[in-house]
Amino acid sequence: MRINLNDRRLDIYEDLKRGSSGETLAKKYGLSRVSIWKFVRKLEELGYTISREKGYKIVEIPDPSPYDMALLCRKLKYVEDFYFFDEIDSTNKFAKTVDRAVVVAKRQVQGRGRLGRKWESPEGGLYMSISLNLNIPIGEIPKVTLITGLAVCRALKDFDARIKWPNDILIKGRKVSGILCEFVGEELSSKIIIGIGVNVRNEIPRYLRDKATSLGTPSINEIFTRIINEIEVLFERFEKGEWSEIHSELKKLMDTIGKPVTVKIANKEYSGIAVDIDQDGALILKNCEIRRIISGECFYTNY
Ligand code: BT5
């Protein structure tokens, strides 16, 4: 389902949440009462409960709720469309085919992690991708991943979430969220896909239970709202040139600093103590010498 963020249905939806008669809505939007009724029926099919006592009023929304999500996306400066799927292969894969859009799915059948790994995506989790035409050099991508991680971490602050460099969000040492930022196209006409997966109230497959966790009770709508709000604030600050303030906050929430780690880059491995994240978002590793790692896969070790 595609919802253009300028679509009047979103305004009608807001009125339906406050409560309004079909006649008032029809007059306000210059539509027939039948088309209002058809929209109400469509919402019911999507899982919304609508009372008809005094006109129409939405009394219960589904979780996730595509119309509330789309309304919220109006906040995002670069986004024009919202796409919602019950099932999809991968929201990141789809997001590559559209521009200036947010994509959400209830479940993914080929959810992807980095380097072709799998992201388990059963119903009950949040699977979202943002497709943006940002004019930033490819070298800034690690920063985009880190800013997104900070946004998720802030969104999950009630759960004491921490960031594991470069793209994992942990709660009590277990992974609750993963981020996959991809860059598509040439340097000048480039597109960034920001993919976020969060275990909200989905089951964790048995083979991952010792290293993954889910939030438990909160709703997908609530987590989506918090993440979008943080993304809006942080990317606006990044655009205004406030990276060094963002970087300081990141370091405070970085679980990796001070830990013995092994980092894999292609077929090389480096071990040492993670001592810092530098201004470019690179991990600084110390053993006999100091090594600066721009991207790679990081494992905690008993070095
Ligand atoms: C990531 O990769 O952590 C990035 C995950 C990004 C997923 C989102 S969902 C929306 C969008 N659409 C997509 O298709 N992807 C993005 P990586 O660092 O490579 O971690 C993958 C590893 O995490 C796997 O090899 C497992 O060990 C573990 N894992 C898989 N599913 C998990 C889950 N649901 N929760 C926690 N850990 C998981």
For residue 32, CA distances in Å to 21, 29, 157 come to 12, 9, 46
The whole-angstrom separation of Cα 144 and Cα 196 is 12
- Ligand 1, atom 36, residue with closest C-alpha: 212
Cα-to-centroid distance, 145 and ligand 1 (Å) = 14
Cα-to-centroid distance, 180 and ligand 1 (Å) = 8
**Which pLDDT value is given to residue 128?**
98
**Which pLDDT value is given to residue 150?**
98
**Which pLDDT value is given to residue 213?**
98
**Which pLDDT value is given to residue 63?**
98
- Ligand 1, atom 10, residue with closest C-alpha: 127
* Sign, CA torsion 69/41/1/46: positive
Cβ contact 276:257 at 8 Å:
yes
**Which pLDDT value is given to residue 278?**
95
- Ligand 1, atom 9, residue with closest C-alpha: 197
The whole-angstrom separation of Cα 235 and Cα 196 is 15
Please give the helix or strand (H or E) that residue 39 lies within, else none: helix 33-45
Cα-to-centroid distance, 118 and ligand 1 (Å) = 6
- Ligand 1, atom 28, residue with closest C-alpha: 119
Cα-to-centroid distance, 293 and ligand 1 (Å) = 21
Measured from the Cα of 202, ligand 1's closest atom is 34
**Which pLDDT value is given to residue 288?**
84
**Which pLDDT value is given to residue 303?**
54
**Which pLDDT value is given to residue 141?**
83
- Ligand 1, atom 16, residue with closest C-alpha: 195
Residue 257: count of CB within 10 angstroms of its CB: 18
Cα-to-centroid distance, 37 and ligand 1 (Å) = 41
Q: Which stretches in the chain have pLDDT values below 70? A: 187-189, 303
**Which pLDDT value is given to residue 188?**
62
Cα-to-centroid distance, 218 and ligand 1 (Å) = 20
Ligand 1 cavity residues, CB under 6 Å: 90-92, 108, 111-114, 117-120, 127-129, 167-168, 175, 178-180, 195-197, 199, 208, 212
Q: Which residue among 92, 109, 119, 123 has the greatest number of ligand 1 atoms within 8 angstroms of its CB, and so is best to mutate?
A: 119
**Which pLDDT value is given to residue 140?**
83
